[in-house]
Amino acid sequence: MKRVLLAAAAVMLVGGVHAENRVAEERVDLSMTGRIRQEAFTHSQVMPLLTHLTEQIGPRLTNSPAMAQANAWTRSKFNEWGLANVHDEAMLEPFGRGWEFRRASVEMLSPRAFPLHALPKAWTPGTNGPVEGDAFAAKLESKADLEKFKGKLKGKIVFIAEARAYKPGEKADWHRETDETLDAMKSLTVPADQTDEAREEARDKRRKRIEFTPLLNQFLIDEGAVAAVSPSGWDNGILLVSGGGSRKAGESVGVPSLAMSAEHYNNVMRALDRKETVRLRVNVDANFTSDANQPAYNTLAEIPGTGPHRNEVVIIGAHMDSWHAGTGAADNGAGVAVMMEAMRILKAVGAKPDRTIRIALWTGEEQGLLGSADYVSRHFGKFPDPTDPQEKAMPLSLRKVKGTLQPARDYGNVAAYFNLDNGGGKIRGVYAQENMAVAPIFETWLKPFNDVGATIVTQRNTGSTDHVSFDNIGLPGFQFVQDDLDYFTNVHHSDLDVLDHIVPEDLKQASAIVASFAYNAAMRSEKLPRKALSEN
């Protein structure tokens, strides 16, 4: 025992010198860090976990049967590892219906016969076997467009957007941050004022989209269109596909709708420009898995705290839902596998944290951070819901009045939230979200991982993932800085979001850092400092 105590004393890393005087010196247990690194680097389970999640379970559209399988499998792994309080928590507001697809093919039959590369949008109906129709170009983006094409779409397969020219790939698809780019990331641009006009424009755009989508869906049905096709958002034949139709029971789901490779979409559009008759056959086997709206589920589990702060919680999380074109390997199987692995590592090294360490695998992130927002609102606090339904449909960032925070019981008990959701690249640092006081803490925590490439703390904010649900209500929620690899060039929401584009070593590195951050946050004398809450 004595030997261990001495060793622990010897390896205490003392930091925090940059922090203001009231902040206690930051200590890192390097002995524990070493055990975490060893477990993460040499006994890693992160790739088997990710493989099971993405290839044996598959892509995990929110409320799909595969997502339910993922909830069940992650619970079983957590139980196997001896975690506590393993459970799914249903979101308060029913998410909608589940949807899944099994096959999809589009064939050009004439003027020449060849297969077109396309996948269905989620929450759009299948075709009930092969259906045929002539392609018809009709940009449908406004009510005026609907008027313009009224009565013209019967039996047509409607190409609802304009052709999009190939954009030459003059930069490498795949890249890591360099010392220079990391250094640049440390600078912050003081944000310009958002004018009322700009905000109103954004609100208006959102409002129009909310209003237009059901009109378009119903219009295509009323017209008797056979199917609708849009171009993929990526070039080079890559299929970027997300949702269409509607997940809400009782709303119009429109006609079978697909995203097609830009190259094939443009080929059809050019033929239509030449006034050729383009005959297509579409066959989509897809279905909604219930008639009624169902809740969506977050999966949670804990390593209970054993110290004086055991009622406080450090949460690590990642969204488990994905889109359906690939297998959701980088978005966000990687985050899920890393968070799971971090919990496994902490158990394997025999961590006995002061605070409770909780893992949260969110649902509905791809539909607007829904799972984490629901969880945070019920457990930690929320801004009052607007009474105006139009206002309620606005995301928090676009609401006119946020109001005054209504903290829930455990608002004071959240020590930290750490999220991973920027693809499969290794961790290069952390976004401090303009929380000045955490910077020296994180710098100290990152020091033992400088040698594996994690070096920077930036005051920059990053958004679009679940730490925002915490940050919104003033809780210390953070997302790591990661190497992009090919996430934002090829992989994001596309059919290339599969295991092949994952770098196993990167996920091992990330697992070690997350486990260490969770442990440090669970062991330090105070919860992480909070920044001032932005209310209005």
178 binds a copy of itself (CB under 8 A): no
Looking at 27, 87, 175, 460, which residue binds a copy of itself (CB under 8 A)?
175
Rounded to whole angstroms, the Cα distance separating 265 from 165 reads 10
180 binds a copy of itself (CB under 8 A): no
Q: Which two tokens stand for residue 243?
A: 């949702």
496 binds a copy of itself (CB under 8 A): yes
Nearest approach, Cβ of residue 252 and a copy of itself (Å): 26
* Structural contact between residues 63 and 243, judged by C-beta atoms closer than 8 angstroms: no
134 binds a copy of itself (CB under 8 A): no
Sign of CA dihedral 293, 326, 240, 199: positive
How many residues make contact with a copy of itself (CB under 8 A)? 53
Looking at 485, 510, 515, 523, which residue binds a copy of itself (CB under 8 A)?
485
Nearest approach, Cβ of residue 427 and a copy of itself (Å): 18
Nearest Cα to 478, choosing from 486, 490, 470?
470
Element (DSSP H or E) covering residue 105: strand 99-110
115 binds a copy of itself (CB under 8 A): yes
User: What residues contact residue 517 under an 8 Å CB cut-off, 6+ apart?
Assistant: 316, 416, 418, 445
415 binds a copy of itself (CB under 8 A): no
Looking at 262, 337, 416, 454, which residue binds a copy of itself (CB under 8 A)?
262
Rounded to whole angstroms, the Cα distance separating 343 from 361 reads 12
Nearest approach, Cβ of residue 126 and a copy of itself (Å): 12
- Per residue in 192-224, is it b (16+ CB within 10 Å) or e — as a string? eeeeeeeeeeebeeebeeeebbbebbebbeebe
Pairing of strands 477-482, 414-419: parallel
504 binds a copy of itself (CB under 8 A): no
Q: Which two tokens stand for residue 285?
A: 């086997």
292 binds a copy of itself (CB under 8 A): no
**Within positions 58 to 77, which residues make up the interface with a copy of itself, using CB under 8 A?**
58, 66
**Residue type at 445?**
W
105 binds a copy of itself (CB under 8 A): yes
Point out which span in 31-39, 85-93, 380-388, 494-502 binds a copy of itself (CB under 8 A): 494-502
Looking at 38, 213, 236, 459, which residue binds a copy of itself (CB under 8 A)?
236
CA distances from 370 to 41, 295, 320, 466 (A): 33, 11, 12, 9
- Give the SS3 label for residue 442: helix
Looking at 156, 309, 402, 501, which residue binds a copy of itself (CB under 8 A)?
501
By beta-carbon proximity to a copy of itself, the closer residue of 271 and 349 is 271
127 binds a copy of itself (CB under 8 A): no
Nearest approach, Cβ of residue 237 and a copy of itself (Å): 6
By beta-carbon proximity to a copy of itself, the closer residue of 108 and 523 is 108
**Within positions 305 to 344, which residues make up the interface with a copy of itself, using CB under 8 A?**
327
Nearest approach, Cβ of residue 451 and a copy of itself (Å): 22
Nearest approach, Cβ of residue 58 and a copy of itself (Å): 5
165 binds a copy of itself (CB under 8 A): yes
String of DSSP letters for 193-218: PPPHHHHHHHHHHHHHHHHHHHHHHH
22 binds a copy of itself (CB under 8 A): no
Say which DSSP state 524 is in. S
463 binds a copy of itself (CB under 8 A): no
CA distances from 377 to 25, 52, 91, 200, 374 (A): 33, 31, 10, 26, 5
Q: Which two tokens stand for residue 37?
A: 């690194």
Q: What are phi and psi of 260, to 5 degrees?
A: -115, 145
Rounded to whole angstroms, the Cα distance separating 361 from 359 reads 7
By beta-carbon proximity to a copy of itself, the closer residue of 220 and 502 is 502
Q: Which residues bind a copy of itself (CB under 8 A)?
A: 51, 55-58, 66, 101-105, 107, 111-115, 117, 119, 165-166, 168-175, 235-239, 262-263, 266-267, 270-271, 274, 276, 285, 327, 485-486, 490, 495-496, 498-501
